[in-house]
Amino acid sequence: MERRESAFCRRLTTHLRRYPQMAVQDLYKLIFQAAMAAVGLLPFALDELRRFFAAMQAQAFPAVHHSKRYRQAYRPAYRVIVQRFLTDHSARW
């Protein structure tokens, strides 16, 4: 299972690098398509994903937060920076 998740993450990362302007709705669609793929890259039932996406769409795609378990395991941290504040030095990040 790890290999399949890793392959999915690589594909998603490649896609996001290629299309940095991708909207949240597009990301949801991409994940949905991956779940529908014959190889089944995500461990979710298709009906479960459809219900989730329908609920998100009904709410105009609000921010979705990590689960408590994920936060404890990985401690994710994100920073949003306005592009005009970026300098040549920050391009490497």
The first and second tokens of residue 82, run together, are 């306005």
CB of 24 within 8 A of CB of 61? yes
Per residue in 40-64, pLDDT tens? 666 666 677 778 878 888 888 787 7
**pLDDT above 70 for 2:** no
* pLDDT in the model for residue 21: 67
DSSP state of 89: G
Q: What is the pTM of this model?
A: 0.41
Single out the residue of 23, 12, 8 nearest to residue 57, CA to CA.
Answer: 23
Per residue in 9-38, pLDDT tens? 677 677 667 766 666 677 777 777 766 664
DSSP, collapsed to helix, strand or coil, labels residue 49 as helix
CB of 66 within 8 A of CB of 76? yes
